[in-house]
Structure 1
Amino acid sequence: DKHSVSKDGMKYTFTLRDGLKWHDGQPVVAEDCAESLKRWMKKDRFGRLLAAHTSKVAPVDRKTLTLELGERFGPVLEALGKPSSNVPFMMPARLAATSADEQIKDIVGSGPFKFSKDEWQPGNQVVYLRNADYVPRGETASGSAGGKKVLLDKVVWRYMPDHATAAAALAAGEVDWWEIPPIDFIPKIEQNAALATFLPDPLGTQGWLRPNHLHPPFNNKKARQALVYMMSQETYLQAAIGVAKYYRPCHSVFACQGPYASKAGAEGLAKQNLEKARQLVKESGYDGRPVTVVHVTDIALLNGAALVTRELLTSIGFNVELKAMDWSTNLAVRAKKEPPDKGGWNILHTWWMAADVMHPAVHFGVSGAGPAAWFGWPEIPQLEKLITDFVRATDPARRKQLAEEVQKIALDEVAYVPWGEYVLPTAFRKNVTGILRFIAPLFWNVSIA
């Protein structure tokens, strides 16, 4: 319902709205929210940073909870309002008691739609039903905030892996909304008078090339720096996305449409220099062993990125081995810390939404926490100190300065290499209205005529 902040900025008080209920009919109370936040703080990068500066999260009464800081933390509300993974979702305290490393198996929320467990078909469909007990806020919907007014009684979200089948279903009216059609399907969709397209997240997505810092050759800084100088974002974007109006080069580790975008330390990233890259490979002492590149073949943009990486690595003197696999296998392989010849890897490709690379506190790519960092495990203590300074800062100019320092070190040490930004349209039938701009599909505010 509302919140307040103490004059010294060290205590945040939150008051719940009246009449809130969980989907099982039980009332939502402050203890539920406190325990949910504690669980999230163990799992999420931003949450762990907040937890390190928090002395207590606790209910005051059934409607009120407080978060008390032990050390100053500037972006408290940004952390609690985080829209992307891992989202600080609320759940009953009994579920929040589940280990942060275990999946929640009983899906009980308090929002405008209920998960229909009986109609769930893993690998085929998820069904959401209108929550008749939900009372929306009075204001207009704005992404995941504002008034969540439900105009549909039921949402059936189907998985259709075959793109031609999905396109035909949309054209025939068998489905109303196609979340992410491949770019090469868009022209035909836009030629159909009954269909429309829309960019739900204009901030876009950032593509990554991530080296493994644990094993040769990229445990050597010069070998990693060669990856920066070989980079041609335009080449990657053409191969991965293909249509120029849907991509843009971005020579910043932070989202180019965000407040911390910068060109600081990005000179090597901005202009390809293959001669410099070859020299760095030689200076690194590279011994010719195969460089294992994870090659995800069932996602077009990752397939394209891997093929470009092979070409560029070969051109600067690396011996390259593409390791072909589907996305699901990649999820298991990327977690392996063993050497490449024992099932591990040297380079992988992935993507993160702009919301996840907006600033140092949310950006997994600039974490230098070693074993606790994202896959690739760079150990760069300077980054961890700067990120701590960033979250403790309250002055916007100081935060901007610290973010630039983070970028300089991240690119010099080559925590990862961004290969540009892109946006992906969604497609729907024109009798569907009210789709909101957001980083994921939202079903409130949507109606079908």
Structure 2
Amino acid sequence: YMIFDTLFAIDSKFKPHPQMCEGFEASADKLNYSFVLRDGLKFHDGQPVRGADCVASIKRWMARDGLGQTLATVVADMKGGDDKNFSIQLKEPFPLLIDGLAKISSLAPFIMPERLAKTDPYQQVTEMVGSGPFKFVKEEHQPGNKVVYVKNNDYVPRSEPPDWASGGKVVKVDRVEWVVVPDVATKTAAMQNGEVDWWENPPTDIWPVLASTGDIDLVSASIRPLGCVRFNWLYPPFDNVKMRQAVMMVASQADYMTAFVGDQKNWNECASFFTCGGPMANKQGSEWLTGKRDYEKAKQLIKEAGYKGEKIFLLDAVDQPLIHAEVLVTKEALEKLGLNVEYVAADWGTVVTRRASKKPPAEGGWNIFATGWTGADLLDPSTNVMLRANGDQAWFGWPKDDPLESLRTQWLKAQELEERQEIAAKIQQRAFEVVPYIPTGQYEFKTALRKNLKGYIEAPAFFLWNIEKT
């Protein structure tokens, strides 16, 4: 969001608003959409933003994003030229078109120059060129150490007040240095001594230390993030649904959250596949997580699954406190079930690489890993990529379940909130039955800012506009 911008943007009430777009018109049958870009949009290379850039960027996004992939199946045509206009023609109505173009979290439909957007969607673009409120300073980039951004003086913000990703992105500082400091003690000292202004995500045990400093604010997220444990459906033993059910049957959100966060005031149980506090959260099927943790019944399921003692490769990113805590709790539960656990300790970068591998677990693949998501990521079936069950095209773990996919399609086509909520309950029921992953609870997230920083925008992503240093 520092470098790139989106055509539409979501506010704190989950409503999309025009951002790069001035507006749009839709035909009565909701099959033809015409968009007009607002005046003054310019990429960081000095070129104006054109309709052709938008079309190419949307195509790139549709190839990778879960919601975008579904949208792609109903797009008949997209047209954009050298002016500020572009259009989308649909084969059938798609009620979430504008919501998709406003998606706030991974993967956001960022707009980039056509020449970059035409890069293979599965390859990284070679330049960081967008039209957003900050520019990337390539010459000062130190991979793994420091990223530098400067104010984009050519950026023309909207006139509306900022609200999440929507509204005016008014930059009030000339320069932002994003510094990577692996050591917690070093980061703590840097905040205490005034060497840095903002710590994105301090561990829970450091909160009291920072709060006692006196000139540091700890700001909570309005929507708590969530943890989860993910299975690999491609290989034994978790290609068998009874094995996945057995692990869920003994999973305790209280154990997970206590291990990570500690004090219960800083976490809550969330027995839903959708963010608790969001419009799609429900209790359908939740007894899988809220009922008695039954090890004997779980062991019976393991027996019925025909488990043969295969090694279970459990990935642990030991440098990530949430993930490390989740993995240790999972390891204990698996061993208590009598399963053969191969614990793999690594850093986050290694886990990210290995979880993408479809190789057999013993040959560089995996069986289980843990992770966490922002509340915005898991709000509904359009954003929750872990509920995709389209096999090889699904997120890491590659679940394949046609009924779950069919329900998701029904949800995307539903017109009214009440209908979507009814379908979301059915999706959740099916998810508890087939277990694409285990929700491990919802936890407090705090970011630490020095008190001389004003204008912080609380949102699921970190936004640096509107902030001034007094």
Q: TM-score, normalised by structure 2?
A: 0.93
Q: Does 1:69 align with 2:123?
A: no
Counterpart of 2:328 in 1: which secondary structure? helix
1:361 match: 382
1:278 match: 299
Distance in 1 of aligned mates of 2:98 and 2:289? 33
Distance in 1 of aligned mates of 2:405 and 2:84? 36
Q: Deviations over 1:118-168 (max 9, x none)?
A: 111111111111111111111101121101111101111111111111111
Counterpart of 1:237 in 2: which secondary structure? helix
Distance in 2 of aligned mates of 1:374 and 1:134? 35
Q: Does 1:83 align with 2:134?
A: no
1:228 match: 248
1:392 match: 413
1:49 match: 70
Counterpart of 2:329 in 1: which secondary structure? helix
Matches within 5 A, 1:298-337: 298-337=319-358
Task: Specify whether residues 432 and 103 from structure 1 end up closer, same or farther in structure 2 by C-alpha distance, changes over 3 A only.
Answer: same
Distance in 1 of aligned mates of 2:195 and 2:434? 51
Which one-letter code corresponds to 2:239 in the other structure? N
Contact 1:389 1:402 in 2 (8 A): yes
Contact 2:32 2:90 in 1 (8 A): yes
Q: Pick one of 246, 256, 272 that aligns with 1:252.
A: 272
2:286 match: 266
Q: Deviations over 1:209-258 (max 9, x none)?
A: 11111222111111111011111001001112223232211000011111
Alpha-carbon distance, 1:427 to partner: 0.5
Which one-letter code corresponds to 1:137 in the other structure? R
2:37 match: 16
1:157 match: 178
In structure 2, runs of 5+ residues without a counterpart are: 1-21
1:124 match: 145
Alpha-carbon distance, 1:289 to partner: 2.4
421-430 or 313-322, which deviates more? 313-322
Distance in 2 of aligned mates of 1:89 and 1:343? 33
Matches within 5 A, 1:408-419: 408-419=429-440
Which one-letter code corresponds to 1:245 in the other structure? K
Which one-letter code corresponds to 1:188 in the other structure? V
In structure 1, runs of 5+ residues without a counterpart are: none
2:262 match: 242
Distance in 1 of aligned mates of 2:337 and 2:42? 60
Distance in 2 of aligned mates of 1:317 and 1:202? 40
1:99 match: 120
Distance in 1 of aligned mates of 2:84 and 2:434? 48
2:11 match: none
Contact 1:432 1:446 in 2 (8 A): yes
Distance in 2 of aligned mates of 1:374 and 1:227? 20
Q: TM-score, normalised by structure 1?
A: 0.97
Q: Does 1:436 align with 2:457?
A: yes
Distance in 1 of aligned mates of 2:432 and 2:418? 21
1:402 match: 423
Contact 1:11 1:67 in 2 (8 A): yes
Distance in 2 of aligned mates of 1:249 and 1:235? 10
Which one-letter code corresponds to 2:374 in the other structure? M
Q: Deviations over 1:370-392 (max 9, x none)?
A: 11111111111111111111111
Q: Does 1:109 align with 2:124?
A: no
Contact 1:281 1:317 in 2 (8 A): no
289-298 or 169-178, which deviates more? 289-298
Contact 1:368 1:380 in 2 (8 A): yes
Counterpart of 1:15 in 2: which secondary structure? strand
Contact 1:206 1:421 in 2 (8 A): yes
Distance in 2 of aligned mates of 1:203 and 1:40? 25
217-226 or 61-70, which deviates more? 61-70
Alpha-carbon distance, 1:420 to partner: 0.8
Equivalenced residue count is 448
Identity of matched residues, %: 43
Q: Pick one of 119, 135, 141 that aligns with 2:162.
A: 141
2:223 match: 203
1:219 match: 239
Task: Specify whether residues 416 and 338 from structure 1 end up closer, same or farther in structure 2 by C-alpha distance, changes over 3 A only.
Answer: same
Alpha-carbon distance, 1:61 to partner: 6.4
Which one-letter code corresponds to 1:154 in the other structure? R
Counterpart of 1:268 in 2: which secondary structure? helix
CA RMSD of aligned residues (A): 1.4
